[in-house]
Amino acid sequence: MTSETGFTARHYAICLSGIVWREALRFLHQRERFVSALVRPLVWLFIFAAGFRQVLGVSIIPPYETYVLYDVYITPGLMAMIQLFNGMQSSLSMVYDREMGNMRTLLVSPFPRWFLLGSKLVAGVAVSILQVYAYLLIAYFWEIEPPTPLGYLTVLPALVLSGLMFGALGMLLSSAIKQLENFAGVMNFVIFPMFFASSALYPLWRVQESSPLLYRICQANPFTHAVELIRFSFYEKIAWDSLGLVIAFTSVFAAGALIAYDPAKGMMMRKGG
Residues that bind other proteins (CB under 8 A): 3-7, 10-12, 14-15, 17-19, 21-22, 25-26, 29-30, 100-102, 104-112, 116, 262-264, 268-272
CB-based contacts of 14, cutoff 8 Å, min separation 6: none
Q: Which is nearer to other proteins, 14 or 255 (CB)?
A: 14
The three-class DSSP label of residue 198 is coil
* ω into 112 cis (within 30 of 0): no
Q: Which is nearer to other proteins, 55 or 264 (CB)?
A: 264
- Smallest gap from Cβ 30 to other proteins, in A, equals 8
- Smallest gap from Cβ 258 to other proteins, in A, equals 14
Q: Which is nearer to other proteins, 92 or 155 (CB)?
A: 92
Q: Find, among 96, 102, 100, the residue nearest to 116 by Cα.
A: 102
- Smallest gap from Cβ 21 to other proteins, in A, equals 7
Helix ranges restricted to H, 177-239: 183-186, 192-196, 204-210, 212-220, 222-234
Q: Which is nearer to other proteins, 83 or 86 (CB)?
A: 86
- Smallest gap from Cβ 22 to other proteins, in A, equals 5
190: left (phi over 0), alpha (psi -120 to 50) or beta: alpha
